[in-house]
Amino acid sequence: MIINIELPFFPGFYETDLENSDTSYWAIKEELEYLQNDCDTPCKALTEDDLEFRYEDYEKDVRENWAAYWKKNAPEIVLSMDNVTMWSPRYYNFDHDRLYADIELADNWQDEMRHFIALNYDWLKDRIENDWTSYDGFMSFMSNDIDEWGDYLFKEQDCRYISTMLGYMMYRENKDIISDLVMYALDDICANSYVELTEEGEAKIEAGIEDGSVKVYDPDQLSIDFQE
């Protein structure tokens, strides 16, 4: 069976461990220092306004890493995953970014899920009641009674309940799954590499080379003759 679900545990990109106000700040600051002092043609005239952070590219690479690791740690009944997309709210006051994907479930997914529920009934009973009971500031649109979940999971095959139960299965297997997903998503990501010069910044560097304020050395002038 192929079903489109929200991937559990994705924290989004607004003031989270994946991206916050410091992400671009430090990336730009460090890249600026490099361009002012350490690169082949340093330019002291550059400022932070001459650099920009490629948010779209950064977020794309991070969420692809995150989704790949989610699939790697998903229950065995998840055979494949495709068409990963991100939905973002217009405002982040009440919601966050969400990842959706088409997943293929094994033919025996219902048996395996029933078995998991039976083995973890008491834990799930408390968890579902805590997670899905409405309170002031939170309106739950899912049942908080585990005994009602069977109909939503196996008769109606409601994607919200299937998604949530897969999350419970992953969390029960690894209580650090949330932090592990974030750590892997950022593992080979260097934020500095997503910083680039604006047109104004490129013009400053070009002008610096042309007017001689940036010294370019002739390799032949760097040779040293040692006297015998």
Q: How far is CA 134 from CA 20, 35, 116, 127, 144, in A?
A: 29, 53, 26, 14, 9
| Predicted pLDDT at 218 | 54
For the entire predicted model, the pTM comes to 0.83
DSSP string, 14-66: SSSSS--HHHHHHHHHHHHHIIIIISSS--TT--GGGEEE-HHHHHHHHHHHH
Query: What pLDDT does residue 38 have?
Result: 84
pLDDT of 91-134, one tens digit each? 888 889 999 999 999 999 999 999 999 999 999 999 999 999 98
pLDDT tens-place string over residues 163-192:
999 999 999 999 999 999 999 999 999 999
Q: Determine what percent of the chain is predicted with pLDDT higher than 70.
A: 91
Does residue 152 contact residue 143 with C-beta atoms inside 8 Å? yes
